[in-house]
Structure 1
Amino acid sequence: MALSLVLLLAGCGINQIPQKEQAVNATWAQVQNEYQRRADLVPNLVATVKGYAKQEQETLTSVTEARAKATSINVDASTLDDPKKMQDYIAAQDRLGGALSRLLAVSERYPQLKSNQNFLTLQSQLEGTENRIAVARRDYIQAVQAYNTELATFPGRFWHWIMYSDKEPHANFRATTPNAEQAPTVQF
């Protein structure tokens, strides 16, 4: 009798909520991993550009400051549900991304820098990292959607009410850049 009850419970979705919550935590860790990869590339990129563009000190300073701010804010599994902390973290990462865009624009003014192998390698790694960040964000959004859906639908809603009432829906990833949904205008 007890064995059949355990088998019945195991097959009815009782474990879905903790499994999906762990998936949310794991995908958020991957987002942080990609942000860290970008932060690790920045000092090398700045050092390479610095050798060519001494007069671009303001841009280099803004990149360094944005990196410091982005790496000073930590969001882990225990604070994923804090919308303010998430917003601050995402805003800092967005500022770093903007500063990096300005840094890459500096390279357009220095043809010898564009042909420097170190710069080209770092630029390629940074572009790849930006793509990896986008994929990690997408995966996180999907994991949050699956978790929140489990809490809101049957039988997850039942198990949430009975056994996991302390579990709250997770906040989803939100763009913090104003008008991020509009494509930027590019003028030459």
Structure 2
Amino acid sequence: MKKGLIALLIVVVIVVAFAGTLISKYNTLVQLNENVSMQMSEIDNQLQRRNDLIPNLVETVKGFASQEREIFENIANARAAMMSAGTVAEKSEANGELSGALSRLLAISESYPDLKSNENFIQLADELAGTENRIAFARQDYNTVAREFNGVAKQFPMNLFAGMFGFDTAEYFEAAEGADAVPEVDFGN
């Protein structure tokens, strides 16, 4: 009877230790996954801030450069794509399109000296530049926590727990294809 009780006690201790480990690993994955979600939310906040600035900037430029219709249409289309993007990859691609369109918009200011000296334009361009920096830092912070989460979730034995509890690796926020190309601006139109 004593040997059976000792064996049962050993089994209970092993089960409790395993359950404790399982709970600890699960909680670690939840915490890291929440960090990824929080950082993605910060990117969304900054992208929304930029989307809110764009109509004012476009209207200011339109007053001076009404013949630049194509750039305005590209910005409107890229902004709509950004608003409807759902996945990290879609947001990354839409961000690249919008950044390129905004670069072209800001580049046309060189052809309009009155626009470059307009106080409203200067303020909006400065706010947009600050927002672009915030977006860059938010993307960097997101990718840092995504790398941390992915590193933990892929290591043995955590990968077993991650698979068991349905934790997928986080997508990285990558630059859109062609983001390294300099935007082409044609003042001949």
| TM-score (structure 2 length as normaliser) | 0.78
2:151 aligns with one of 142, 149, 152: 149
**Is 1:175 aligned with 2:165?**
no
2:69 aligns with one of 38, 47, 57: 57
Q: Partners of 1:102 and 1:15 in 2: how far apart?
A: 46
Q: 1:16, 1:156 within 8 Å by CA — same for their partners in 2?
A: no
1:18 aligns with one of 27, 30, 37: 30
Residue 153 of structure 1: CA displacement?
2.4
Please list every run of 5 or more consecutive structure 2 residues that lacks an aligned counterpart in the other structure: 1-11, 185-189
2:39 aligns with one of 27, 44, 53: 27
The amino acid across from 1:47 in the alignment is: E
Larger radius of gyration: 2
1:38 aligns with one of 50, 53, 58: 50
Q: Partners of 1:87 and 1:46 in 2: how far apart?
A: 26
Q: Partners of 1:69 and 1:185 in 2: how far apart?
A: 19
| TM-score (structure 1 length as normaliser) | 0.79
Please list every run of 5 or more consecutive structure 1 residues that lacks an aligned counterpart in the other structure: 76-84
- Closer/same/farther in 2, CA of residues 138 and 46 from structure 1, 3 Å limit: same
SS at match of 1:49: helix
Give CA-to-partner distance per residue, 1:108-145, whole Å, 9 cap, x none. 11111111111011000000011011001001101111
- Closer/same/farther in 2, CA of residues 179 and 95 from structure 1, 3 Å limit: closer
Give CA-to-partner distance per residue, 1:124-181, whole Å, 9 cap, x none. 00000110110010011011111111112256345436x52x111112122222373x
Residue 51 of structure 1: CA displacement?
0.8
The structure that is helix-richer by fraction is 2
- Closer/same/farther in 2, CA of residues 104 and 159 from structure 1, 3 Å limit: same
**Aligned pairs for 1:74-89 within 5 A:** 75=86, 85-89=87-91
SS at match of 1:149: helix
Aligned residue pairs total 171
**Is 1:71 aligned with 2:73?**
no
Aligned match of 1:111: 113
Deviating above 4 A after TM superposition, structure 1's stretches of 4 or more consecutive aligned residues are: 8-14, 183-186
Q: 2:88, 2:172 within 8 Å by CA — same for their partners in 1?
A: no
Q: 2:100, 2:183 within 8 Å by CA — same for their partners in 1?
A: no
The amino acid across from 1:174 in the alignment is: E
